[in-house]
């Protein structure tokens, strides 16, 4: 007589006793209270799930941004090092007197240095490295480093009148500030 419910005492069969023991006995408001508690637990679990999804999405976005930055600015260290090569090429051209540039042996040398400089500028452009234009601009401490103040009446105070070393940007970041001379009231 151990069907699903014993006829004598109206209790569940032993194999169903575990399932029934987990649930509280139905006494008036207790099922409604249990449903309310379960709904609160469900709402809390859904909220935790939403927070976990948002956190995962934020981590993914942050990693994507870091990866994009790493790709965009990976060459920063190398670019800083190669800027001295560009500076030396410019100095080499400036060191050759104008009257010597037309002489045949020097003419080939000048052409070679100029071609190398143009190729270097092209490589810089292809990698997002741009030379700053400084002469005639207002001093910007985020892009320029003032080395001297030059008394003059030709320019307003704070205007760059001399560039000692070119500045460069890589994408939207400063790679190297321009070293400049700034006009001072004469």
Averaged over 30-53, what is the pLDDT?
A: 94
Residue 141 has pLDDT above 80, yes or no: yes
Distance of CA 77 to the CA centre of its chain: 15
Q: Are residues 118 and 93 in contact, defined by beta-carbon separation less than 8 angstroms? A: no
Residue 114 token pair: 């100029």
Q: Are residues 155 and 116 in the same domain?
A: no
The structural domain count of the chain equals: 3
To 5 degrees, how large is the angle CA 97–CA 102–CA 106? 70
Position 45 pLDDT exceeds 50? yes
Count Cβ neighbours within 10 Å for each residue of 32-57 and write b for 16 or more, e otherwise: eeeeeeeeeeeeeeeeeeeeeeeeee
Question: Of 85, 101, 127, which residue constitutes the final position of a domain?
Answer: 127
Q: Are residues 155 and 186 in the same domain?
A: yes
Backbone phi, then psi, for 78, in 5-degree steps?
A: -65, -40
Q: Is residue 17 part of a domain?
A: no
Banded pLDDT at 9 (limits 50, 70, 90): very low
Q: Any idea what the CATH number is for the domain that residue 142 is in?
A: 2.30.22.10
**Same domain assignment for residues 47 and 92:** no
Owning domain of residue 151: 129-186
138 and 180 co-located in one domain: yes
Q: Are residues 150 and 181 in the same domain?
A: yes
Q: Is residue 38 domain-shared with residue 50, that is, in the same domain? A: yes
Say whether pLDDT at 17 is over 60.
no
């Amino acid at each position: 007589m151990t069907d699903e419910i014993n006829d004598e005492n109206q209790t569940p069969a032993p194999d169903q006793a575990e399932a029934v023991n987990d649930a509280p006995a139905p006494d008036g408001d207790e099922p409604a209270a249990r449903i309310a508690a379960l709904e609160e637990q469900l709402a809390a679990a859904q909220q935790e799930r939403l927070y976990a999804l948002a956190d995962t999405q934020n981590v993914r976005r942050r990693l994507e941004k870091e990866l994009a930055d790493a790709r965009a600015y990976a060459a920063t260290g190398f670019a800083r090092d190669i800027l001295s090569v560009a500076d030396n090429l410019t100095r080499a051209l400036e060191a050759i007197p104008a009257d010597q540039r037309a002489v045949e042996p020097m003419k080939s040398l000048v052409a070679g240095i100029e071609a190398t400089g143009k190729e270097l500028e092209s490589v810089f452009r292809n990698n997002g490295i741009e030379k700053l234009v400084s002469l005639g601009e207002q001093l910007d401490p985020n892009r320029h480093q003032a080395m001297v103040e030059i008394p003059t009446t030709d320019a307003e105070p704070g205007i760059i009148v001399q560039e000692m070393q070119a500045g460069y940007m890589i994408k939207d970041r400063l790679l190297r500030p321009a070293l400049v001379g700034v006009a001072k009231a004469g």
